[in-house]
A and B are shown apart, each in its own frame.
Chain A
């Protein structure tokens, strides 16, 4: 079976060779891919693992006695252990494979909701995307819990002093993203977790945007739940992970019923399987899980310190270049920020800029980025979002800047 590359020296030109998609053209121009916050690209090492799985040992897992099933089961469970080690969880069974971040949040919202009663409070940050708002609103509708919001400042940081006042003995859960997808703000999750625990509340951190850039240590953070998606971490779509402390995962009721999550089924009563299978009903995304493990290997081989340093350099360079364009306004200017630039040109709709730069081969995101409350705060319909990964270059940023200048001339 293929495994990801080991010990890759950080040389962006060498790294780019791992990503076959970066060789393609779009609208007659070499592709510049700056939509990494939506999904990252996949290196050949991970693609090979996917091909190898379907070419060599595609089989259903856990229940088969035949060789292929054993091989697939071993590879899947090995991937779980890789992911456990990556997040530094204490136990492999604290890592639940999900279909992605949204699934992980819904799983916790559903289970945690069963433990709450009317009048209990949960706290959310103003920087969330819809996936970390709507499941909790649905939960509150079911059980009468109350949703409180930590407001944000103009620079896209959270009002931590207000957070202090929101916490009380009524607070049962706090949920917040590690990094904002719309603005790139890195939230002070250590402080958020610590204060929530002092108030007796559990904490869920949405790590979807953080995991491509940093390596979370769930034990050091002492976080109760942490969710992530493989496709933002150089892995495939349709797979992700929910970390939960064992004590919580044992306490939460199962999210879905079906095969694999049971111990015994009779028409009178069903008993549930142990962790992690209690939360993994049905046939999982086996290939996705294995490829997720390979993606984690790949990122670790590149090295998160090198990734963070390089991306920070790209962010600083792009910020300076874009701000030099008259009329550009950047939303989210926190000093603690990852490689996301959300911007607009005065008097120009973000969709128009996105459309023109796409014609020049540059992929950026436009719109509200599934974070409408943030756009409402700034009273804008959306932004143009350029989000950089470690395989992007300064030359690509120069092309974006030229394209934005051209778009501005055309549109104004």
Chain B
């Protein structure tokens, strides 16, 4: 699936819930199901700056596609990064660089996060795209 298709699926899934408590419950479930990052990558260099809870993201290339693994010490944050990993993992770096992130607004995620968490979300997206830029440069 393309990034766009995955994002549309995520928007559909979130639209099934009536209120934000249910959406949080869903996000928490997503967080619990997130494949854990290998311990060797849970290092300070992989920490995303701007998050009040800790978020580690590791990226590596597999068959010209970028694979993200991540973890967080807070479960809601873990749910957020799980959504982003789902949207951007196993995609070509150039597609990640060019991807629109409007789906975040569509599911109302940013609006329903505290300002510190919303800043963290922006930092996470920025970090994933920076990985893509770095690997694209490597591929070129």
Contact = CB atoms under 8 A, between A and B. Distances in A.
Given A358-B114, A381-B54, A351 B20 contact: no
Contacts of B113: 355
Contacts of A303: none
A352 B54 contact: no
B53 A355 contact: no
Contact of B76 (A351, A360, A381): A351
Interface string B43-79: 0000000001110000000000000000001111100
B28 interface: yes
B25 interface: yes
A355 B76 CA distance: 8
Nearest to B29: A410
A410 B28 contact: yes
B53 A351 contact: yes
A406 to B, nearest CB: 9
B86 interface: no
Contacts of A355: 24, 76, 113-114, 117
**Size bracket of the B interface:** 10 to 19
B77 A351 contact: yes
Contact of B74 (A349, A358, A360, A410): A349
A356 interface: yes
Contacts of B21: 356, 359-360
Contact of B24 (A349, A354, A356, A381): A356
B111 to A, nearest CB: 12
Contacts, number: 40
Interface residues of A, number: 15
Contact of A359 (B20, B28, B52): B20
Interface in B68-107: 73-77
B75 A349 contact: yes
A319 to B, nearest CB: 25
Contacts of B54: 381
Contact of A352 (B20, B25, B75): B75
B75 A411 contact: yes
A360 B75 CA distance: 18
A354 B74 CA distance: 11
A351 B25 contact: no
Interface in A314-367: 348-349, 351-352, 354-356, 358-360, 367
Contacts of B20: 27, 359
Contact of A411 (B28, B52, B53, B73): B28
Contacts of A410: 24-25, 28
Contacts of B24: 355-356, 359, 410
A358 B117 CA distance: 13
Nearest to A381: B73
Contacts of B117: 351, 355
Nearest to B113: A355
A358 B116 CA distance: 14
B28 A349 contact: no
Interface in B13-43: 20-21, 24-25, 28
Interface string A162-202: 00000000000000000000000000000000000000000
Contact of B52 (A348, A360, A367): A367
B108 to A, nearest CB: 13
Contacts of A349: 53, 73-75, 77
Contacts of A358: 114
B28 A351 contact: no
Contacts of A367: 52
Contacts of B53: 349, 351, 381
Contacts of B74: 349, 351-352
Interface in A224-264: none
A376 to B, nearest CB: 15
Nearest to B72: A349
Contacts of B114: 354-355, 358
B75 A348 contact: yes
A284 to B, nearest CB: 30
A267 B132 CA distance: 60
5 contacts: A348-B75, A349-B53, A355-B24, A381-B53, A411-B75
Interface of A: 27, 348-349, 351-352, 354-356, 358-360, 367, 381, 410-411
- 8 smallest CB-CB distances across A and B, nearest first, come from A349-B74, A351-B74, A352-B76, A351-B53, A352-B74, A352-B75, A411-B75, A355-B76
